Structure 1
Amino acid sequence: MDRRGSSGDTTVHDAIDDYLRYKINADGSVTTMRSPLESFADHCKDDRGVECVGELTDQDIRAYSEHLYDRVKIDEDLAASTAGSYFAYVRAFLSWCVREQHLEQNPANTNTAMDPLPEDDGKRKTQYWSDEDRTQLVNYATKRVDMALEGTIRTDPKAALRDRAIVVMLDGTGARGAELFADPKDEKRNGLRWSDIDFEERMIEVYGKSREYEEAPFPASVHSVLERWYDYLEPPTDEWPVFPTGHYGSKEDVLTDALGAKRVNEALESRDDAGKTAVLDRLHREHEVPPPSISKEGVRRLLKRLTDEANIDPDGDYDYLTLHGARRALGRDLYAEGLSEKAQEALRHNSIETTHEAYSDISMKDVSDTIDDVRG
């Protein structure tokens, strides 16, 4: 791809280092800004193929805005106000790059770049799966499997088993949605594969927020459910997604790319009484062409449906049990038991300070209870 405005070989990462070293004087500001700016640099390099500052365009910054939007609206692991702050850090950094002649103009100062940013209504939306709600959801997902196998509901047993595995995996591992499910905007996030799961060591390998592979916990409660799902699914290769999509068009597209449109169409035309989806599933298996993984957005819609069907009315700012609410709940339960370091390890936070900040409300409640005990 041809790009405009190159003024040298200064990388985004190197420019950020210079910016924080020479321009930002307050230590607190450096600490606050470094992580978001380095994440921006990683996004440019890994998602856009842009390593040097002079190559950046407003389309690259727009892609970053879309990334922030997804984190707020789909992953639900970022507040809209925080997304706005992160974008402001990037825009200020790029203004400095213009002054340093790394760029001719600031690509963040355009409507194109800023349009995807989520609106900030002044409220930070958070949710934790409560013990009652998570138990009700897991129980309903299990009951749904039984009813599907019995034929008392119009749900495919394979879909019901997959959906229960999704719920239990979210509930028990603390993994992010982006680490388990596909992100159509990020080719490196194509969903968890069976090769990423180690049943013996009770560990899963995920492509983490750091954009490096990380080890995540795989407790016994998840192990047994996933093992049953594996036995039912019988994936023909270890590269099969753990949570295949049920989306017809996505499966057909992958097969067309692998086998050619003519071959796929011929199989569909000669299917006799078999359904079209069954024909696609057979082609995937016969030719060992893995179907796509379910997407983060697909799981978000699933959780909305399951929350409604299970008659769950969650506390907090959302009317359904969110993907990130499960992760927060696991960390909360560990942190509340005084296991802050275990919470950090389970959630794979870079520092214990991040964990303390995430659960500051619990920490302050503990202080308040201690005051009551001492003064009581």
Structure 2
Amino acid sequence: MPDPQPQGSTTTTGTPTLYDGLTQFLEAKAKGDDSGNYRRNAKRVITRWIDWLDQRDIERFEQLDETVLAHYAEHLRRRVAANEAETTDAGIASSTAWTYYNTISAFLGWASKWDYLQENYARAGLAQESMPDRSTSQQSQQQFWTPEQRTQILDYVNERAHDAIDEKGLDADVEARDRALVAVLAFTGVRASEVFRSEHDNRTGRQGIRWRDINLEEQTISVLGKNQQRQSAWLLEQALPSVERYRTISDPPTDDWPVFPTKHAPSLYQCARTHLREVGGEGKESIEAILDENPIEEVLREYGIVPPAITTNGARSVMKQLCEAADLDILTPPEGPGYLQLHGARRGIGDTFYRMDRGTAQDLMRHQSLETTKDHYSHIDATEGAKRASEMLDESKADQ
């Protein structure tokens, strides 16, 4: 991945410079109750990051996007690889890389609250995928959907969809979509970036799965994997009813239609205007007349305009709303995220299968080797090993 190029004009004054933003960020933290250690460490890490960006002519918040953060993540990955190969003194441990990255994420999260950024790009799928694997201790602290949580959220979206279908019939598109979305996350082991759209990655396979990618008969979803190769993700039987019912309700006009199209009205109207102008050759007044006289969904279908898929950030918003409505008991910040995270579904289903059969878990997760799967779920091996050792010790005492 080449180094990022400037993403905007360096003379733009719409937002403060990154250095000015850092000053504001540290002042805001000083008003809290921290001892000062966090501010000192954050200042050191963020200053180095801003210096790294400055070398690439990136000075302001509006020049940042998901791709820039992905390049920084690649930079950290190379430093971790150098540390493991012991080829340079500039290498760092994986845990250190994630400490740096999380510090940057906190800074960008603060910036997004002040509308200096549209979103926290450090949380985007492309950027996080580019980071090195977490250490075992970090992995054990990551959220995963427990079987109980998985059941609770599925029960809620099932009941919600049933009620909506009874009341609205084929107009229950949103409720049916949300139920299918949760089912796909819960019963496939997919990564969010493999099924939802990335706003800053235009590659085929990073723009959201299409109906042509789903084979209900073979129970597979064709995705662009982390290795940049097409892979067949498993679609477990438990997800089939929700997906099949949703397809009937949504009635996609072509197989190129996104499985999870966005419901964001400005995005849909922008997509329609662009198509009608550039493909349909319509003038501005004609376009506005078409959009004023017809629902946007009908315009898209009538003119063969494929809508954009929901973004990973949009899918996070859906999960936050669903978890709040379902009244799930999930730790809120700073102890926890407050909702069932997208990648937590993958970790959760992997955890469930790893406890039953290591090989099945490896196949479901699409890991190249069983060692990779073991690294992700080593906490289970440790727990089971401790129990076996305890039983052996008790048996040895009984024989004495």
TM-score range, shorter chain: 0.5 to 0.7
Match of residue 177 from structure 1: 192
Q: Tell me whether 1:129 sits opposite 2:145 in the alignment.
A: yes
> Out of 141, 145, 151, which is 2:157 matched to?
141
The secondary structure found in structure 2 opposite 1:186 is coil
> Percent identical across equivalent pairs?
31
Q: Measure the CA separation in 1 of the matches of 2:102 and 2:375.
A: 30
Structure 1 unaligned blocks of 5 or more: 5-55, 72-82, 98-113, 272-278
* Conservation of the 8 A alpha-carbon contact between 2:67 and 2:200: no
Match of residue 273 from structure 2: 256
Equivalences, count: 283
> Out of 67, 70, 75, which is 1:67 matched to?
70
1:142–1:62 CA distance, 2 compared to 1 (3 A) = closer
Match of residue 349 from structure 2: 330
Instruction: Show the 5 A alignment for 1:89-104.
Output: 89=80
* Conservation of the 8 A alpha-carbon contact between 1:66 and 1:117: no
1:100-148 C-alpha deviation (Å, 9 max, x unpaired) = xxxxxxxxxxxxxx9994359x994511111111101001001111232
* Conservation of the 8 A alpha-carbon contact between 2:66 and 2:200: no
Structure 2 unaligned blocks of 5 or more: 6-54, 89-100, 108-134, 278-282, 395-400
* Conservation of the 8 A alpha-carbon contact between 2:67 and 2:201: no
| CA shift for structure 1 position 218 | 1.2
| CA shift for structure 1 position 317 | 3.1
The secondary structure found in structure 1 opposite 2:212 is helix
Match of residue 360 from structure 1: 378
The secondary structure found in structure 2 opposite 1:284 is helix
> Out of 65, 89, 105, which is 1:118 matched to?
105
The secondary structure found in structure 2 opposite 1:215 is strand
1:2-38 C-alpha deviation (Å, 9 max, x unpaired) = x99xxxxxxxxxxxxxxxxxxxxxxxxxxxxxxxxxx
Match of residue 319 from structure 1: 338
Superposition TM-score, scaled by structure 2 size? 0.63
| CA shift for structure 1 position 256 | 1.4
Q: Measure the CA separation in 1 of the matches of 2:65 and 2:272.
A: 31
CA RMSD, Structure 1 to Structure 2 (Å): 3.5
| CA shift for structure 1 position 269 | 2.8
Instruction: Show the 5 A alignment for 1:344-359.
Output: 344-359=362-377
Match of residue 229 from structure 1: 246
Q: For 1:86, give the aligned amino acid.
A: R
The secondary structure found in structure 2 opposite 1:145 is helix
Instruction: Show the 5 A alignment for 1:219-298.
Output: 219-260=236-277, 262=284, 263-271=286-294, 279-298=295-314
1:140-199 C-alpha deviation (Å, 9 max, x unpaired) = 0011112323449xxx62111000000000000000100010010111211010000112
1:242-269 C-alpha deviation (Å, 9 max, x unpaired) = 0010001111111112112634311123
Q: Measure the CA separation in 2 of the matches of 1:84 and 1:131.
A: 36
Q: Measure the CA separation in 2 of the matches of 1:353 and 1:64.
A: 30
* Conservation of the 8 A alpha-carbon contact between 2:291 and 2:299: no
Q: Measure the CA separation in 2 of the matches of 1:126 and 1:234.
A: 37
